[in-house]
Structure formats: C-alpha cells, structure tokens
Structure 1
C-alpha cells in the first residue's frame, strides 16, 4: 500500500504500472480542493473530495471512496496569525509560545516547528543554547570547523600558486595545521589520520571519508587540475552534505515536506512570507504552463496547490497552530493567508513588543534620537568626504571624525582593480595600440582570487571591449592620454581640497579631466546645483586652474565621467556655475564649523546601504 501526498513523475508511474502486472498496488489518497484536479488527471478517473483507495492491477484501475469520521474543529479558535517586524522578535515569539504550552502540561514531543524556509534554522540554533530542538534537516557539513579551515587554507595555497600572493581569508583554527599537499593521495592520508576528539568531529570525519569514496570516480577526469584545484572541487562536491542531529532535544524542527503523513497537536510555522510560501524552485521557471500541460509535467499552479494541501492537512491535524510572518520594508506576509479554507477567518495580528525583549537579561531601552553637536575640526576635504558631509552629516561624523570603518565591498574592489590595470597598461604603452592593450587588460583581469571575482572580471572584460573601441575613435580625434592617477592638494574657500585624478587627456592647448566610473546607469547631476552633493569634477577642474597638477597649464579645460559600462564620456553641464555653488557651500561650512549639528540624512534613500544604519535606528 502506498500513501500518496505529493506528485508522481511519469517515470514513477511507468515503473508502478509494470509492477502492477505482477502484483496489485493500492494507493491511499486524501483529496481536498487543492489536490483533487491533479490526481484526477494523473489516474484519469473522476475523483471527488474525500478519502480513496485506488487499486492498480494489470495496468487497470479500480477505486473505492472510504467514509471517515473526522471531527472538524473551528479554524478561528485554533489558528493564530502574528505579524513581526524582525526575525529576532519572531524567534522570541517561538520560544515564548513554547513556554506557554509547556506550562500547560503539553509534552515537548507534541510540539513541532515547521519551517517553510529551512535557512531559518540558523536563527533557532543561535538561541537554542539548551539544545531543546531536534533539527530534522541536520546541519551542513560546510559549517563545520574542519571544512572551513580546509577551504580557506586550500584557497590561499591555490591563489599563492597562481598569483604569488595570498588573498584575505577567514581566521583559521590554530590547533589544526593544514599542510601543502603534494598530491591528492597525501590529502586523503591527512583526512584518514586526522584525530577526532569528539563524537561530532568523528561524524564530520566519516562524512569526509564517504565523500572521498564517491570522488574517486571523478578524480581520474581531473588530472589537468592542480592538487589544490582538485581538493577545492572535492570540497565543492560535499558542501551540501548534512550531518544528522543526533544530540538534539525533544521538540521537532522540520521542513514542510517532512510533515507529509504526520500529525502534530501543537504547531508553529515561522517565516510565512512571500518568497518562502509558496516555495518555487528554478525548474518551475524553465518551462511555461502550456508546455508543462502538454508534456504532462506539474504546472506552477498545481505545485502551489500541493503546498496549500500540505499546510491544510498540517493545520487540520493540530489542536493549536501559530503562524508567524514578517512585515517590514523587505518582507510581506504570504498571499496563502488569504485562503479561508486553510486559515479560516483568523485575523493578522501585530505581535506584542515583549517578544523582541525575550532574550534580554535586563529591561529593554527604547531608542532615543540624540543630537550630536560638535566643532568641525578638519582642515581638508576630498570629493568623497565632502559628498558624505553634504548628504548625511551624521555618517560623516561616524566615518571621518570618530574613524569608524566601513565594510569592504567586493564590487568596489573590482572597480579599483580596473582602475589599477588601466593605469598600468596606459603608462607602459607607447603607440596606443588598443587591440593589444585590450588583450593585456584581459590577461590582468584573469588574475582573480575568488569565484565571485572571476565572474565580475569576466563581465568587466565584456564591457571594457567597447571602451577600448571607443578609445580608438578618441585617439583619431586628437586626444592623447598623458597623465594618470595624479594626486593634488590646494587651498579653496578656507579648506584644503585634495584627491586623485584618474586620467588627464591633452589636445593642443586644451585638456580633458576624466574620472573612470564602473557603475550601471551612471547619471550626472542636472543644473539644480543648489541641492548638489557631488562636486568631484569641479574640484578636479579647480586643481588644474590652481596649478596643483604639474606640467599642466591649458587655455581650455573639459571634465567628465568616463562611463566604462556604456563606453562614453558624460560631462557636467555648467562647471563654472557648479564651482560657484561649491565655493558658497564651503564658505558656509567654514562659517558654522565651530558648532556643527551632525544631523541624519534628510532622505532615507541614503541609509539603505549605509554601514551605520543600526547606529541611527533607520534599518
């Protein structure tokens, strides 16, 4: 007998039909409004809502509808739907409700946490200090210390072998020395001889050794790779391997698929948000609905209905259920909550603020905006620091006065890499053969330390091909690059303005100051300069006019951003007018510098990717 809850593929049905020629197969089906249509099409027989037993024998079907006594319960009294602002409050709500149930005498085995998105288990593990939960999905092998240390060490060795320098890697466990492996056999011996000082370490080692047995088959096809690359390929293969949670507690934490055929009296379902519910895989986007129907594959609608069936059965078998979802700028509740046949008329309630304070040992303090008034004790600005001050004085205070560091961004690193390579190949060329220069550029860009950097570098090579083609036209028009990465510093309106110009081109008695921008949808500020914050090009032009750049005394100065994505120069509309506005702003800053109110940015768009967003309570 087979109890069906999910889909059967065409191949599985073919296998079952062949088996039925030898012995009968009985299917148990519990049909509701969500899976009725699918099974009617699958078995090609008229089925109504209810419980069925379908017998397949000698490739022929017979079926009976079974009457079951089911005591239905009012959904309004058993389903509670709560809306939270953040994940920590959501976890606090889970723990708080479990406390309530346990206080009522309910046993831990009767409670189940069902995760539409199993990544949420990381949050539960973070706060499950007493190990009360048992995680059906286990833990990923890649999160183990052995895996992390091996991955970091081998990546560093591989980068050093290819580029003669080591990339920045995560800190390693000092108790585990990773040698330089001469061949893959020495790597095997290292794992086999590795000491396991705990049960968990032993299970990790066993998973590595099991993976080695499987990898042996592929190893003979990877002889062209270095030993470090072979080891990295092995680590990539086993990174999704999971370790069973053998030391877990009595409260089950399962994915929605693990609930099929099971019944839990007390259920908590967190993360019931759009994006998690319904859960869609990439394969659902590969073929459209018409094509899927034609070849007999489940459609997106049928997959969504199947998930609705899972949640409906889960809630029907429960005494009490708590549905939790996030509602903020990034997350919205799932539209499945509108299904009255599943959730009844349960209202969406705002969660109590006490859940946010569940893990606090003391009394929570409400955020109070503080005013920061202090003298502006700086004597110089760069274009970047000035833009920061004009956009958000509070960020300027954190970054340039207190010296707080910002998080390094790999996209920014790619931009810096492009700048450096362009500088090198332009400085060492003599005849400006753009075809050869592009080949040199590609060769340098191929020197990457990570997969993400390799991907970004490949994209950059594609976009910069048009840039080098544009450079041919620019050379033909008489413009010759003659200076790169020129530092400057000069006095203006009471401050020293400093910076570095990416490139200066010359044609007769005129020069063109260029700043490379590797940025999509690059826009230059309009003539509404009173609200402008970016004065990079005016500062560059002033540096030329003030003689801060050596061997440069032109009669006419142009300036623009060189858009590397679109391979075109985008110029300011009226540089002289913007220089006047710059002077006014600097004089005002100087005048008020003894007592500056470092206020927050007036527009919250500036806060979206700011590293100090939590300091300002604008997350």
Structure 2
C-alpha cells in the first residue's frame, strides 16, 4: 500500500488524472503526486531573489541588446519586432545554460570562422542579460545553476519518490534530481527504445546495460536497476488514410469516432491528437455533434474583447476605411482612441494611462472567466511594466499587452467526451483509441527554434541536443502513443505541396496507400444537398414612362432588362467595405481633378500636381493609376493651350427635361462656347473608347451625348450644338458624328418603352453573356 510519504511524479496533469481514474475502483490510500515541473520548482529555492516573469525577461533582454549590434544575427533592434524574435535568443541561452555549456567552449569546438562573430555577439548579450538579472535580484533558468538551493524541508516530507520519465532531462534538471536522491529514496521509471537513446545518456555514468524495447526502474539513490522487463507489443489495429484536402481529414476523424463507438469503446478513452494544435480552430468549427473537448483550451481571438483591442491597434497603425469601419462595427469610440491613445502613442506610458485603456477595452465584456483572466493579465503587466522603471512608450506597452492577450485561452468545459490534445499531453496515458491527423512532413517533426544559431555539426561537437535528437524524441512520443493504444487511426494530406511524414515508414510496418479518400468521406462533413437553379420569369406592371431616365439607367435597361429591374426597380445595391477600388472610382477622381483644375483657371503643372496629391489620399490602391493619368493630363494641359480662345461656361452642369414625352436627367461634364457653337464634352478614362458610326449606331445602347444635347438645348435655348467624348487616355477629342441619327433612334426607343408600359413587362435576362462577366448580379442570374 502506498502512503502520503510516497510521491509519484508524472509528466503532465493529464497523466495524473489518468492515474487517479485507474485507482477509483481500489480501496487504498493514495500517494502524493505532482508534475515534474511542479516538483522541480518546489524542490529548490533562492536566497533573497525572486523568479523572473516572462514579461520581465523580455524587457531585460531588450535592454541587454541595446549596446549590441544584433542585426548581424538577423534580428531587428526595433522593439515591437524584437518582442517576437527575442524567443530565439532566449531559447539558445536556455539550452546552453541547461546543458552547462559556455559559449566560449562552443567556439573552440568549431572548425569554421562563420560562427565566431555571431557567437561573440550572443556571448555579449548573455553577459549583459545576466548582469541585469543580478541587478534586479532576479533568477531565470539561464542563471538558475548559480542561484538555486535544494529545499530540504520539502524533500524530506517524503520517504520514497518515483519519477515517471517520459522525455528528456537537461543536465541541470538531472543535477537537481541527483542531489535530491542523496536525501530520499528516488526511483526513475522509464522505457528504452531506438528513439530515446539520447535521453538515456544521463545514465551513462552508472554503467547500465540498457537494451532496446525494455521497461526499467532505476534506483538513483542506490545507483542500481531494480526492475527490467521486455516490451514486445505490436499494434495490428492501425488504419491510415490519405486526403487531398486538410479539412477533409475532419470527415475521417468523425468516421473513426463512430467506428470506435460501434466497437463499444468508451468515448472518454478516445483521443484526437493534433501535431499542429492550431488545427483545433477548424475542428471546433465543424464540431456540430459536440464530440470534442479541447485540452489546449479555446483561444479568444474571435471574442469581442480581443477584437476590440486588435482593431484599436490596427487603426493606430493605419486609419484606412477598413479599420474605421471595423471600429464602428465593434462599437469602439474613434474619438476615445484618437484622444486617449493616438495622442500618447509615441509618449512614455504611465500606469494610469494603461489602466484607462485596459478598462475601456473590458467595459462591456460579460464572460466571467475571460474577465477574470483578463484582470489577472492586466495586474501582472502593471507589476512587470511599471515597477522597474523601464520607461516604455505607449505603443510598446500596447504591443506587449496585445501579444499576451492573444495567448489567453478559456477552459473548454461542458463539452464533448473526446479529448483533443497535442502529442506532449499524451505522455504516460493509455487510450483505447487514438486518432492522429496531419501526419505530414511539415508537422511531424516540429521544427525547433533552438536550432537557429548553431549547426547540427556544431551542436553534436558541443554535446548539445541536435535537430536529429529532437526528431527522435518526437518519434519516441508517437511510438509510445501508438503502442499504448488498442486502435489507431492516422490521416495525412497527400497533395502537390504536402506529403506523409518520412517517419511513417519507420513507425508503421504496413505499406501505406497514398490514394486520397476525400470522396469516400465527403458526405460526413458536407451535407449532400444539390442546389438547383430556378430560372424564374419576372413580370411586373410598371409604367416606365413615369421614370426619370439617365443615360446610364437607359443603357442598363437596353443591355439587360433583368439587371435594370434588380438595380433600378428593386434597388439592390452591391455591398462591400473592400478598399480595392471599384471600376468607376478612377474616373470619378479624374473628373473631380479636372473640374477643380478648370474652375480655378490655373491650368499649370504645379496646380495639377497639387490636385493629384490631394486626391491620392482617398484610396491607396489608386496611387499607381493616378500617377499614370497625371502624366497623361500633362498632355491635357498642352491641349487646353490650343483652345485658349474657347471659353468654358459650365462644369458638371445638371439638367432635367423631357424628350418624346419621357423625363430625362443628367450631368454634363463640361460646356464650352466656341464662338456661337456650344461644345458639350464628356470625359472618358477608358483605354478602348470607340464612337458610333453610320454602320454601328443602330445597335448602340449608349446615348450619353444625346442626353447632353437634349439637356443643352433646354438650358441654353440654342440649336448650334456639338457633342464630344474627350479620351483622357489618348488625349483626343472625338465628335459624336451620328448625333442626329441616334436622336431618332432614341425617340423610337422611347416609343417602345411607352408601348411595353401598357402591359406586363417581362424583365428577361440578356442573351449577350459578355455583359454578365462583371455584373453584380451574375450569381443571382446563374451566369
């Protein structure tokens, strides 16, 4: 019988829960238990020093690199960029300190000069960082060896300690464990297979004859093997399927769950393992049956609180229309952001200012768990950022705040019975069934950030864990997981860009079929509902003679009656907040520039440049096109000089009149008086402007200049009128040579409109499908 004097140490909390579940049916006194991380923390203490928080560590590192040229390491000295890149430096420092390696020792082992400068820079940063830790009375894992003391009071609470060893002990960790074993009986239980031999080198000083595929219990206190047994288990129930689409693996996951349930497997003994834990977001989206609970928690990136914090940051970086619209959508006061954040963005941040912003972001949040974790984060950041005189700008504080906020996860409670977890969470747990997706090269093995500064050769020479060692450790985890499960289901993506992990042929004896299975499982994920298009006949009693027609609405009617009905009768408008410009936007801006240019009577290059600079800010996506047209309008200025004797009498002139008994309206771009001739000009930015001829006018749907002519006759009571298109692309004035004939054609079209208005009008779709190519109603009409 175990007692409270016995301590069991597990790799994870989930492994502890698994152990406790197994003991429920036993009538016995349970031992004490904890995770290896908790055990190592409680087993040591520091004299007159405190442990350095992650946020404090980042700030101290940023301070440590200020006098060092870290750009040579490929790392930015910019604070916000350094926030995300500092992890590379810290992981390197952590690795060498944990393995008791000095940077100067690494230099002597290298036969190339390539690393010398980089290592010298890193050594300088490390020395600066350690000095800052000392000045602030901080202990970090980087300087742990020089500061830790074994906590005898804690250790002596136990008579026996058993560590379930699943993974890798650094030299520092094993040093601590070894010291503890001198005061209490300490056993280490571990497994030996081909993939974890690097991890077992910690026992090399004890001359153990360790064989492959064995379970061992080693008494570290007595330095003897107390137990050994061979492991011969081979899992025969392995199913492996390939898919062309990553999402379609979810179909297979669901199918496998149902298959397990039909075998009588308890859902609580089924696990879905994600080599890439980010895939949990997609899995959650398709969890309509509520199968899953997520061991990694649920991120808050779609929560209103984070969205508000993020959109404020995006708006401060760029106050474009998209970010302004998002502020309004999330009900964030633009006035508050500009007055309380933007004005202080590049100034030193006070604790009061940070509190004000944090409270504003939180004020309408209703999720109690999120509020609690948010408040905890804010409290922690205040202590870290404002208690050590770091003198940070508001923009830097906000960047740290947003980065930490994005990492908050909420517990997945009241969810399904099937646990979704990463591979590290599976250590020392036995499952009835395990489903592993994404068994691809890009996810298995994971690429370590610890390998950024040293080559594999150099690491090997320095006796540091290499990339090969880390890959083997991951293979060890997967092999243990697969061997300890009764049923295993594997899926992977097989496509042009993805292929099955190269480990697969080592881990699985069976030949792997690379044929994709998307079709076989597609009905699970996507309901097999076929959409049938109904080609509806739209007829309505509408008197079109009561409408005031513009040239564009008439063209729409003549091009396609259905389009006219949807846009002009039903008033259906295209909805978009995209910053990508619509087709008409360039022409609209050019028209405004020309109107102001001519109205000012200052037709100089300087004035034209100033106008382009003014309108360039309206949409950044138009900058290139506007630059092209600025060059073209220089030629327009030259053309205007040739017409210096001609007077411009009106710009953007509005008219409304009648023609053949039907109301028409429009806006004339420009009216010039050339002696006694009224010249009507319509600006065009099109690259392919054509005018009607005697051979083509009968099929024309464009009556813009005819509308101008009719309007000008009414406005100016004149008959001597000419109408022109001005091609801004070609800098040419093109006269409407078929004006009289097109006026007759327009009159006959209005006669037809009067006639069709007497009965139900059939708003048919056009037969010319080229018109549909860029139509907003293309999908509605199934074109």
Aligned to 1:181: 340
- Asked if the contact 2:657–2:665 (Cα under 8 Å) also holds between the matched residues in 1, the reply is yes
TM-score (norm 1): 0.58
Distance of aligned partners of 1:497 and 1:422 in 2 relative to their CA distance in 1, 3 Å threshold: same
Aligned-residue CA RMSD (Å): 6.8
Aligned to 1:38: none
Q: How many residues align structurally?
A: 521
Q: Which runs of 5+ in 1 are unaligned?
A: 1-8, 30-49, 58-64, 224-229, 282-292, 297-302, 326-331
CA deviations 1:215-248 (Å, max 9, x no partner) are 879996768xxxxxx5996599549823223225
Q: Which structure has the bigger radius of gyration?
A: 2
Distance of aligned partners of 1:246 and 1:514 in 2 relative to their CA distance in 1, 3 Å threshold: same
Aligned to 1:557: 723
In the alignment, does 2:505 pair up with 1:367? no
In the alignment, does 2:707 pair up with 1:543? yes
In the alignment, does 2:408 pair up with 1:243? yes
- Map 1:505-516 to 2 at 5 A: 510-516=679-685
Aligned to 1:399: 567
- Asked if the contact 1:112–1:253 (Cα under 8 Å) also holds between the matched residues in 2, the reply is yes
CA distance, structure 1, for counterparts of residue 605 and residue 328 of structure 2: 39
Aligned to 1:456: 621
CA distance, structure 2, for counterparts of residue 253 and residue 365 of structure 1: 33
Structure 1 residue 441 displacement after superposition: 3.8
Q: 2:281 aligns with which of 106, 121, 145?
A: 121
Q: 1:146 aligns with which of 305, 320, 330?
A: 305
- Asked if the contact 2:538–2:764 (Cα under 8 Å) also holds between the matched residues in 1, the reply is yes
Aligned to 1:336: 499
In the alignment, does 2:600 pair up with 1:429? yes
Distance of aligned partners of 1:464 and 1:323 in 2 relative to their CA distance in 1, 3 Å threshold: same
In the alignment, does 2:519 pair up with 1:350? yes
Aligned to 1:61: none
CA deviations 1:95-125 (Å, max 9, x no partner) are 5654454454253563326487948826834
Structure 1 residue 15 displacement after superposition: 8.8
Q: 2:272 aligns with which of 87, 99, 112?
A: 112
Distance of aligned partners of 1:324 and 1:119 in 2 relative to their CA distance in 1, 3 Å threshold: same
CA distance, structure 1, for counterparts of residue 438 and residue 770 of structure 2: 29
- Map 1:129-528 to 2 at 5 A: 130=290, 132-134=292-294, 136=296, 138-141=298-301, 143-149=302-308, 169-172=327-330, 181=340, 185-186=352-353, 188-189=355-356, 191=358, 198-207=368-377, 234=399, 238=403, 241-248=406-413, 249=415, 251=418, 265-267=433-435, 269=437, 317=482, 319-322=488-491, 336=499, 344-350=513-519, 354-355=523-524, 366-375=531-540, 377=542, 378=544, 379=547, 381-382=549-550, 384-385=552-553, 394-408=562-576, 409-412=578-581, 415=586, 418=589, 421-422=592-593, 425-426=596-597, 428-443=599-614, 445-446=616-617, 453=619, 455-456=620-621, 459=624, 462-463=627-628, 465-478=630-643, 483-488=650-655, 498-502=665-669, 510-516=679-685, 523-524=688-689
Structure 1 residue 191 displacement after superposition: 2.7
CA distance, structure 2, for counterparts of residue 269 and residue 606 of structure 1: 43
In the alignment, does 2:239 pair up with 1:78? yes
CA deviations 1:55-112 (Å, max 9, x no partner) are 999xxxxxxx99769988899x82344678x97x987776565445445425356332
Distance of aligned partners of 1:208 and 1:52 in 2 relative to their CA distance in 1, 3 Å threshold: closer
- Asked if the contact 1:489–1:497 (Cα under 8 Å) also holds between the matched residues in 2, the reply is yes
- Asked if the contact 1:79–1:322 (Cα under 8 Å) also holds between the matched residues in 2, the reply is yes
Aligned to 1:299: none
Distance of aligned partners of 1:483 and 1:52 in 2 relative to their CA distance in 1, 3 Å threshold: farther
Moved more, 206-215 or 254-263: 254-263
- Asked if the contact 1:488–1:498 (Cα under 8 Å) also holds between the matched residues in 2, the reply is yes
CA deviations 1:545-582 (Å, max 9, x no partner) are 3244745876543315545xxxx558889874995998
Distance of aligned partners of 1:587 and 1:420 in 2 relative to their CA distance in 1, 3 Å threshold: closer
Structure 1 residue 462 displacement after superposition: 4.3
Distance of aligned partners of 1:513 and 1:392 in 2 relative to their CA distance in 1, 3 Å threshold: closer
Q: Which runs of 5+ in 2 are unaligned?
A: 1-87, 107-166, 169-193, 202-209, 214-230, 448-454, 459-466, 506-510
- Asked if the contact 2:438–2:492 (Cα under 8 Å) also holds between the matched residues in 1, the reply is yes
CA deviations 1:263-291 (Å, max 9, x no partner) are 9954375899xxx999xx9xxxxxxxxxx
CA distance, structure 2, for counterparts of residue 609 and residue 115 of structure 1: 44
